[in-house]
Structure 1
């Protein structure tokens, strides 16, 4: 007998079910407030693009903080907000997509960035996201990477560093290299949500230029 279950890499509803189950059993870590005076929320937003489930990434505008860097939609947490609320608000402000709290499937580990922010990644699935409306002040371009690409064995690369250790590169396409913090959050999403493994990322090496 063959397994007729939908492929979560090829079917958004199947991915939602698998992701919700895995995130429900994942004990995420939280950076204490005393260790993170600044906090931010970002969204790993899964949508259907070109007929396949994909995650949205952005290239930040070539001005201000993180100029030109690869990132996930998101930003600073304001007074009175939860990380989830900040992430969803920023998703709308940066690329014009509206997500409700019920669209959030769960969260991954807070990532302690060298910029001084503790970044909380939340996982969202949108069946009908509507048109993208990128903010030109914040977003240079919007890109998609398929779940299958994220799960591919050749996507993560570990680059030796002169002083020892290795730096992660998520190689998502030609000339498309994503480092920590964003690369670390994509890698944990891949390991925990897509592949069902336990994985932690707080100690991942970050390039010096991510301090700004």
Structure 2
């Protein structure tokens, strides 16, 4: 495997420092935060991606980034780090938040704020909470750097975005967030993703 610098901390920090993220008003929706968590051995870094258990009431069996709702009085940053600890047993400091991407509004009533979080030189500390996480995937740079698919649906004028991941397709919001991370961090293209649609099954 060739050494890959794109997921090294200095490269990520440099790319995000050039990017101005966009915020959304929450209004009557609920605020949430997710982590694009990057770690592992040098030049072999990976991103942590999860699959939700099929028994969950909300979005069962779907791919997700670690994260969840922001509690009253809690900042988005604090919620992101709390959820990372609760779901994957990964505990890092606010200093390890490297930057943020654009907010994304979901059909199910959330405004999601994505943060890029550095989780260190090992992923051995990752222990999934079986209540919230069925599978943890370690996604390398070559798997992130894949062109998305865009699909038209009759229910919306906006295209559904699909990120091809192994033998599956990851839809928005997760697919949209990962696509923007790839665009901004790998290619220094300040691509916006708020107008990409979710599939109808995720609207509930």
Name the residue aligned to 2:177: 185
Equivalenced residue count is 199
Verify: 1:199 aligned to 2:196, yes or no.
no
Q: Is the 8 A contact 1:114 1:206 kept in 2?
A: yes
**How far apart, in 2, do the equivalents of 1:113 and 1:37 lie?**
9
Q: Please, which runs of 5 or more residues in structure 1 have no aligned partner?
A: 1-5
SS of equivalent residue, structure 2 residue 134: strand
> In the alignment, which residue of structure 1 is the partner of 2:57?
64
Q: Using the TM superposition, give the Cα deviation of residue 171 of structure 1 relative to its aligned residue in structure 2, in angstroms.
A: 0.5
- 1:22: how far off? 1.6
Among 123, 144, 147, the alignment partner of 1:150 is 144
Displacement over 4 Å in runs of 4+: 162-165
SS of the residue 2:191 aligns to: coil
Q: Which moved more, 1:135-144 or 1:182-191?
A: 135-144
Cα pair distance change 1:50/1:68, threshold 3 Å:
farther
Give the TM-score taking structure 1 as reference length.
Answer: 0.87
Residues 1:160 and 1:208: Cα distance change in structure 2 (over 3 Å)? closer
Matches within 5 A, 1:77-156: 77-127=70-120, 128-152=122-146, 155-156=147-148
Gaps of 5+ in 2: none
Equivalent in the alignment of 2:9: 16
Q: Which of 45, 50, 59 is the aligned partner of 1:53?
A: 45
In the superposition, the TM-score normalised over structure 2's length comes to: 0.90
Distance in 2, Cα, partners of 1:117 & 1:162: 23
Q: Which residue of 2 aligns with 1:3?
A: none
Cα-Cα RMSD:
1.9
